[in-house]
Structure 1
């Protein structure tokens, strides 16, 4: 039950459910108009094109709607030409499909080009003799379906996908923080190679989630194109552009953080095979720094001491220690260097979170 509630609360669940309802409404309305107003003998043509037109963003609905209109119109015309001059047979049916599928490869209608062939199937397969005098009616039904699909997506809560991008960023930050805290806990006493391998696998999983986050950000940018909600209230287009740039910068910084975290896991993996004991002062202080860095990334509101200055102080103290074996410095230096880079990410995460929360408060129309 808890799992179901978590799924239901996700922004993408609400968006997907809304998309289903909008597609249902567009298809049903197009069918009703075909049956009740147009008195169509092909009542599935308008709802079918309506479903093809209701895409996840207004911009995509408009661009794909134009492609659907062109492809479906060509399909209707192709069917009438072949049926009128060559008749309907297995060979002419195959010819219509061949021409339709070849036309689907045209670059400027490639996304919806297959509608040429599927429209031909509908028209030729539904009794061409009865449809022959109704070429104009079929074209009207295509236009009705596309128009209804675009109208529904324009008028019924056009989607803005900013929260999904923010959710991915927060999720990756929490996972990075958890790995750092786990590293600190293991390093405080000892660690095993298997544990270091699990950290590496976790960073690879973060990279996959980051790729999904990039897709979400690009989708969020597209969802604001031609979106009437951008013109309403406080969601002006100028502010939206600034947020786009911000999210791309945030994800680039998160990508850097994952890279340094993976390097840190690899270093600890190799250190598991190193001979000799760790310097206890370094071990204790580095552990505290890593744990605080993890807490700060996972929760920017956490009360921790500045990480970067503590790393600098530790490096300076260790470099002045004449008793520290020289062969230990490559390993210690690698750990300090990785954490120094991650410390910069810690500060960026905190400022990015503050900026996003302030932007969310002023852009309450985001979905």
Structure 2
């Protein structure tokens, strides 16, 4: 379980509190205030309506209303035709689960079946006057869920997205820094390990994309908008640049892997300057709050010097590939660190 201070855990605990508050509020209105005969449907519906975002509460709330109304109607019709028996109960649950295949209430088949089950076992399914009570209780539950979810610290999850993006940046920076250190040692390196680490960083990036999509959804119709922070579109731009950075880092690892130990004989004119630029880029990703100049001019200067040097074709292919990928990483790092300094 994540630590209690983590945004994810706090968000989950807040959802539990809101679900309880919504259920109690719905019960008080339906039973104590209005005295509805089917007041139990109000807290039941409220629990189903409270979701992680206001948007999802609205959309799923509409589905819950449709599913609950359908469950009430199914229970009424089945009991009218078959009476109170096991066959009626089974038929109501079967119809309810099949209804979940319909697009308007997809994924709410269990809600239809459970509502029908509640109503039938309560022994009031055949009483037509109770239909109004049940539908009213359903509406009260949905309203309570929406109000509580919107007003009681409506979730945004911006912090989770920011922290995950920062984590991906640090992982990529650490990987780049380690690559520079290991190549600089002039010993055999495990480039396949770097490639695997880049894939793991890609997986962390996928998690960041999920959180950004959730953040975009959380901001819809949310009273707790934070205009001064980076928005989902800004996060998405950062993630796209990170994708490029990871891909170029993997390209460097593959170039070194294909050299099959040839890096130990690379030119002193190339290797120290290139490794220095690579190490600086890794450090910039790990510490975005520190001002650092772009490495592109240094790399372009290195290209200009090497172009007048008599190098073997094999070295040129390796140097050219490595410098090209590193220039791309430099551009990515410049964009990412500038954006992250704004949000720090």
TM-score, normalising length: structure 2 = 0.91
Cα 1:80–1:190 change in 2 (3 A) is same
State yes or no: 1:139 paired with 2:132: no
Which of 4, 8, 12 is the equivalent residue of 1:8?
4
CA distance in structure 2 between the partners assigned to 1:212 and 1:319 by the alignment: 42
Q: CA deviation at 1:278?
A: 1.9
Instruction: State the partner residue of 2:338.
Output: 351
Which of 323, 333, 337 is the equivalent residue of 2:324?
337
State yes or no: 1:47 paired with 2:35: no
Which of 224, 229, 245 is the equivalent residue of 1:257?
245
Higher mean alpha-carbon deviation, 23-32 vs 153-162, is at 23-32
CA distance in structure 2 between the partners assigned to 1:34 and 1:332 by the alignment: 74
Higher mean alpha-carbon deviation, 196-205 vs 340-349, is at 196-205
| Unaligned runs of at least 5 residues, structure 1 | 358-367
Higher mean alpha-carbon deviation, 311-320 vs 291-300, is at 311-320
Q: CA deviation at 1:354?
A: 3.0
CA distance in structure 2 between the partners assigned to 1:246 and 1:276 by the alignment: 41
Aligned length: 344
CA distance in structure 1 between the partners assigned to 2:52 and 2:207 by the alignment: 16
Instruction: State the partner residue of 1:105.
Output: 101
State yes or no: 1:229 paired with 2:224: yes
CA distance in structure 1 between the partners assigned to 2:264 and 2:276 by the alignment: 22
Instruction: State the partner residue of 2:177.
Output: 181
CA distance in structure 1 between the partners assigned to 2:219 and 2:32 by the alignment: 35
CA distance in structure 1 between the partners assigned to 2:222 and 2:141 by the alignment: 20
TM-score, normalising length: structure 1 = 0.86
Cα 1:13–1:192 change in 2 (3 A) is farther
Q: CA deviation at 1:314?
A: 1.4
Cα 1:275–1:139 change in 2 (3 A) is closer
CA distance in structure 2 between the partners assigned to 1:129 and 1:326 by the alignment: 85
Instruction: State the partner residue of 1:364.
Output: none
Question: Is the contact made by 1:64 and 1:111 (CA closer than 8 Å) also made in structure 2?
Answer: no
Instruction: State the partner residue of 1:126.
Output: 122
> How big is the alpha-carbon RMSD for the aligned residues of Structure 1 and Structure 2?
2.4
Cα 1:276–1:198 change in 2 (3 A) is closer
Higher mean alpha-carbon deviation, 43-52 vs 338-347, is at 43-52
State yes or no: 1:61 paired with 2:57: yes
Q: CA deviation at 1:341?
A: 0.5
Which of 54, 59, 67 is the equivalent residue of 1:71?
67
Q: CA deviation at 1:133?
A: 5.4
Higher mean alpha-carbon deviation, 207-216 vs 171-180, is at 207-216
Instruction: State the partner residue of 1:320.
Output: 308
Instruction: State the partner residue of 1:164.
Output: 160
Question: Is the contact made by 2:157 and 2:218 (CA closer than 8 Å) also made in structure 1?
Answer: yes
